[in-house]
A and B are shown apart, each in its own frame.
Chain A
Amino acid sequence: MSALPVRSRHVAGFVTLRRSVTNHLVTGVAIISTVLVLVPLVAILGYLLYKGASSLNLAFFTHVPVPIGVGGGGMANAIAGSAAILGLASLLGIPLGIGAGVYLAEYARGTWFGAAVRFTADVLNGVPSIVMGLSAYALIVARQQHFSGLAGSVALAIMMVPTVTRTTEEMLATVPNPVREAALGLGIPKWRTVLSISLRTASPGIITGCMLAFARVAGETAPLLFTAFGNQFWSFDLNQPIAALPLQIYVYALSPYDEWHRLAWAGALVLIVMIMVSVTLVRIFANRGALKGGH
């Protein structure tokens, strides 16, 4: 600075004051914004923990809903129903997604068709969940003339496909080509190479993607509203209306009864814990699964 001519030094000093004030102002705004964003997050999680933990008891996991006026009751059937719906959805959605991902990464890299598939998957990812519910309704429920867990599973499976596809593709892309070449060089056919070499090497990442997709649909209510529909009793028949945890929370939250509100909070906590556990597992997998020595 001292090397500058006097006049420049003056100008520089003058500008710097205004500029540094702006700079600090922006820094301050950024910090305040971050705090502002963290407040609702902590509020939501904290309140949920507080309300949920105080409402949770053993009966929640072992009993089915009871009519209002009768104390107690739980959401055991809803937890089981959710598990059944999500299980079927995963069975349908994950293989399909992995297949499409394998195609994109191993067969269609750099082709326009692959780009089209990729783009469609991305766009499908942004389709509102309620539209998936409507489609499953029109496709299955309207035809069968009754609500069914199967329709709910189909709606959720469709929502899982794009996420699984894109992560599978990205994870396969991290598998170094020499690994594939080595397998092919041994005379292993391409399909075996894909299955036993590429997919296996990338499996931690792919599992991560599947669990992310699972966590994402596990909390979905909108696609189940007029497909799985809900059920107050035990039912494992996926061809009939079936209870689901998010659905039950929704119904109870909108009811005017305090007892049901309590159960809704407990259900929300259970749901969140389920999702958080899978997200955390994802993190562990993702950290462990990062391909070491790829180059």
Chain B
Amino acid sequence: MKEPEIIPLSRVAKEPAEATPTIPATPRIPMMKTVVPQPGSEPHAVVGVASPSEIRNFLQAKSSGRIADGVFTGVMVLCALTIFAIVVLIIYVLVSHSQLSIKAFGWHFFATQTWDPVSGDFGALPFIYGTVVSSLLALLMAVPLALAVSIFLLDICPGVLRGPISFLTELLAAIPSVVYGLWGIFVLVPIIRDQAGPVLEKYLGWTGFFVEPNFGVSMFAASVILAIMIFPVISSISRDVMRAVPVNQREAVLALGATRWEMLRIGVLRNARMGIIGSVILGLGRALGETIAVTMVIGNHPGIVKNLFAPGYTLASVIANEFTEATGDLYLSALIEIGLALFLVTIVVNAIARLLVWAVVRQNEGGAH
């Protein structure tokens, strides 16, 4: 039985029961049988927030409330347990359906470059490379922007603009992946191919990252799309975290004569850094698993090349692109194993991020008042 929530009431109600030790306490009132209120009955026996008075005990025992209460509690617990069950079930079906591939390739699966459905030789390394590079590149573009926008909205923005701008950035999060992909194909890819590509090649071609031929559909296009998509996540959570920093931290730094930037750097960013890192990791988790928009603009060609204008492939996009066409159990099984790997990686990444964000918000909640 859980502890009563309303403490003062329960304390009051408990005392008489504890003060009458001579009457042997019946641990639980049998359902529907108790007609006379029993003064010594254990106060916790009745499902209720507050420990009940004797009269209420009596009334509740008369009614069928206890059966209903028990059933209701059971159903709610069941719902909560379902969440665990879902995670376990996902792991179970993914593992059982990828047995074939796990047995055939073992750990080499993640270190082999070949992806040859015809001869049945599978390795996930090019996809891991594609996922990691596109996600990190997206973070590189999105994080500075997201932090700058958070700072702008929190401390610089005039009050009139704050609502509309934050609403607009929230809208970015509401646009479905497939619409980003559509926009990517018909707007972003041509821009990268015809306008941005030549410029990047001219000035940064020497680095080896931006080399012609550039068909637009590329690792770079995927990173840009990803950056736009993860921006709202990082921005809104880092804003929450920065807002959670107690005001007196800001005031203290300002009182020392700091400028606004120094106040933000010393008073806010430093205090919120774990939470900001958490929001960045959360964005990373989103980027790692993003499927449709990436599949539409990345070019879907396995290979590990330094050139960002070359087409690539990610873990998620290979599943989306090849699963329905996959022939043969081993092929399917290899794709499901990729899904399993993606699942486990995102779970770990998200768990770390959540812990970091929680740590900051909880730590600052205490000091905020």
Contacts and interface: CB of A to CB of B under 8 A. Distances in A.
A36 B79 contact: no
Contacts of A119: 351, 354
Contact of B262 (A23, A31, A43, A220): A23
A219 B176 CA distance: 5
A135 B89 contact: yes
B131 to A, nearest CB: 11
Interface of A: 19-20, 22-23, 26-27, 29-34, 36-38, 40-41, 43-45, 47-48, 51, 95-100, 102-104, 106-109, 111, 114, 116-117, 119-132, 134-135, 137-139, 142, 158, 161-162, 165, 177, 180-181, 184-185, 187, 189-194, 215-216, 218-222, 225-226, 229, 246, 249-250, 253-254, 261, 264-265, 268, 271-272, 275-276, 279
Given A117-B83, A189-B60, A249 B179 contact: yes
* B interface SS class: helix
A29 B148 contact: yes
Chain A facing B: main interface SS: helix
Contacts of B118: none
Nearest to B285: A126
Nearest to A30: B152
Q: Which 9 pairs between the two chains have the least Cβ-Cβ distance?
A: A219-B176, A128-B289, A99-B79, A189-B65, A33-B148, A126-B350, A191-B72, A103-B76, A23-B259
Contacts of B96: 138
A128 B291 contact: yes
Contacts of A107: 2, 73, 76-77
A108 B82 CA distance: 15
Nearest to B282: A126
B181 to A, nearest CB: 7
Given A30-B151, A127-B346, A44 B90 contact: no
Contacts of B228: 40
A275 B63 contact: no
B187 interface: yes
Nearest to A217: B176
B286 A30 contact: no
A180 B50 CA distance: 10
B343 A127 contact: yes
Contacts of A111: 2
B343 A100 contact: no
A222 B262 contact: no
Given A41-B169, A103-B80, 15 more contacts: A19-B259, A27-B156, A100-B80, A108-B2, A123-B350, A126-B349, A127-B346, A161-B86, A177-B6, A181-B49, A185-B50, A187-B59, A190-B48, A192-B68, A222-B320
A187 to B, nearest CB: 5
Interface centre among A20, A40, A121 (most CB of B within 10 A): A40
A184 to B, nearest CB: 6
A250 B181 CA distance: 8
A135 B91 CA distance: 8
Contacts of B290: 128
A141 to B, nearest CB: 11
B170 to A, nearest CB: 8
B3 to A, nearest CB: 8
Contacts of A102: 76, 79
Interface in B7-62: 9, 47-50, 56, 59-60
